[in-house]
Chains A and B, each alone.
Chain A
Amino acid sequence: MQDFGEAFGLALSLVASGDADLVEIVALSLRVSLSATGLACLIGLPVGALVAITRFPGRNAVLILFNALMGLPPVVVGLLVYLHLSRAGPLGFLGLLYTPTAMIIAQTILITPIVMALSRQVIEDLHAEYADQFRSLVLSRWQQVSALIWDARFSLLTVGLAGFGRAVAEVGAVMIVGGNIDHLTRVMTTAIALETSKGDLALALALGLVLMVIALGVNALVQSLRMTAVRHAYA
């Protein structure tokens, strides 16, 4: 096992020199988690908005379900996706297990409920304000949903970023369905887990640094978006 100071120095030089393995792992992480975030928004925003503006029997049950699904443990999601994609599973013929696509699917399932539940809240609040005006104009459901999503865009961006933050930081799901295969499905979190257990602290620390910068960067982005929105009275 390396000395900690030495490992930290090595980690910094890996980051500074743009080490090929490191870059590959970071790039795959971003690709997987950004794709999952995009898909989760594509599904979650319209569904969240529809539930926000519609009253139907069993609506409260749906809301409770949304909120409960927000807390899905990543390993459980990984396990469920694994069971479907494994060779014996119903979707085994697709041959997706241990591919980045499988990882995107798992992370999408993990964060779609977050996007749905949070955007439902955001859009319901906005709708309370707009509802009379919309009814007066006689807008179709779709016109209402698209107008609400557009007008809530700043809040919804922060919702998307919250989803991305959760996706990029989770280990359990991508480990199970991706398998942490070198040059294929190795992402930051799984690499950190592996390298740490192997005792290669330098790469683990370097990845940890990058992950932290991304997480903090996302947070800073959320804050500055919020401030821009407030300045324009669009929040």
Chain B
Amino acid sequence: MPMRDAVTDNIVEFDNLRHNASDSTDQRALALQDVSLTVGDTTLIEDASLSLSGNGITMIMGPNGAGKSMLLKLAHGLIAPTKGTVTWGGEPLNDAGRRTQAMVFQKPVLLRRSVVANVDFVLKARGIRDAARRNDLLDHVGLLDHARQPARLLSGGEQQRLALARALALKPKVMLLDEPTASLDPASVLKIESIVQEAHTAGTKIIFITHDPGQAGRLADDIVFVHRGRVHEHGPADLFLSRPDTQEARDFLQGRIVV
């Protein structure tokens, strides 16, 4: 049964990923242990446990309001969990650790300055002043023509590309991307995907939220499926996309969104 073999292969490969995640002190390896987040009397994240390898592209999927963005903010230490622990390479994330990470938010937060000034700002935050590098970055995301424009007058897709350029400027060990291609045209999506691939090849751990199974198929090594604040599944991408374990994931992938 060739089908069976493929699946077994995937499981072996996935176990390797897991193994890497647990044995190392790799600062790029995220582990959540029984993480819950309660705001008021609503539980937004419930008992999430997750262990990610320090390399590869992990994609997070799940319906609107599932808690994907919250999970990313918890991982990056922007919110403290009500319960449980978040660790990177076995250690809680401190400021020095967070400096090695970069996050692109679902709604890009752009400074009220020009496009170049937005990139210069993060470079300067790391003590770098380098116009050539900044121009390279803008060129990379196709924004060089807009360099002098006020950033907040960029189109939605251009704003997302600027936010990505700013994240890349930090040369992060870990990039946390919250739907970075949500409002991009198809060509830009592919462009951004290749940029993300490039960063990954250069050794950056990528954690990427998407709603697009096609994109997950193109990029993901492993996929985390979140539903109603819980981590429902975590497995190799092709396995998840072809044969998800849970009914919820099947419904989600077939467009019968379960809320």
Is A93 an interface position by the 8 A CB rule? no
Least CB distance from B166 to A in Å reads 9
Is B73 an interface position by the 8 A CB rule? yes
Residue from B73, B76, B102, B121 whose CB has the most chain A CB atoms within 10 Å: B121
Least CB distance from B98 to A in Å reads 5
B140 contacts across to A, CB distance below 8 A:
none
Whole-angstrom distance between the alpha carbons of A84 and B125 in the complex?
Answer: 44
Is A94 an interface position by the 8 A CB rule? no
Question: Interface 1/0s, chain B 137-161, versus A by CB < 8 A?
Answer: 0000000000000101100000000
Whole-angstrom distance between the alpha carbons of A136 and B97 in the complex?
Answer: 10
Q: Which of A17-25, A55-63, A125-133, A199-207 forms contacts with chain B?
A: A125-133
CB contact list, A122-155 vs B, under 8 A? 129-130, 132-133, 135-139, 143, 147, 150-152
A138 contacts across to B, CB distance below 8 A:
95, 98-99, 125
* B153–A233 CB distance below 8 A: yes
Is A198 an interface position by the 8 A CB rule? no
* A233–B78 CB distance below 8 A: no
Least CB distance from B196 to A in Å reads 18
Q: Which of B49-57, B103-111, B232-240 forms contacts with chain A?
A: B103-111
* A132–B125 CB distance below 8 A: no
Is B113 an interface position by the 8 A CB rule? yes
Report the number of A-B residue pairs with Cβ-Cβ less than 8 Å: 46
Interface residue from A129, A136, A147, A234 paired with B76 (Cβ < 8 Å): A136
Interface class of chain A by DSSP: helix
Whole-angstrom distance between the alpha carbons of A235 and B113 in the complex?
Answer: 10
Known: A132-B78, A138-B98, A138-B99. A234 touches B109 (CB 8 A): no
Interface class of chain B by DSSP: mixed
A143 contacts across to B, CB distance below 8 A:
125
CB contact list, A188-235 vs B, under 8 A? 232-235
* A136–B103 CB distance below 8 A: yes
Report the interface size class on chain A: 10 to 19
* B98–A234 CB distance below 8 A: no
B contact residues vs A (CB 8 Å cutoff) = 73, 76-78, 95, 98-99, 101-103, 105, 109, 111-113, 121-122, 125, 150, 152-153, 170
Q: List 18 A-B contacts (CB under 8 A).
A: A129-B109, A132-B78, A132-B105, A133-B109, A135-B78, A135-B98, A136-B76, A136-B103, A137-B122, A138-B98, A138-B99, A147-B111, A152-B112, A233-B150, A233-B152, A233-B153, A234-B113, A234-B152
| Sample of 16 further A-B pairs with CB below 8 A, known A135-B77, A232-B150 | A130-B111, A132-B73, A132-B78, A136-B103, A138-B98, A138-B99, A138-B125, A139-B125, A147-B111, A150-B113, A151-B112, A233-B112, A233-B150, A234-B113, A234-B150, A234-B152
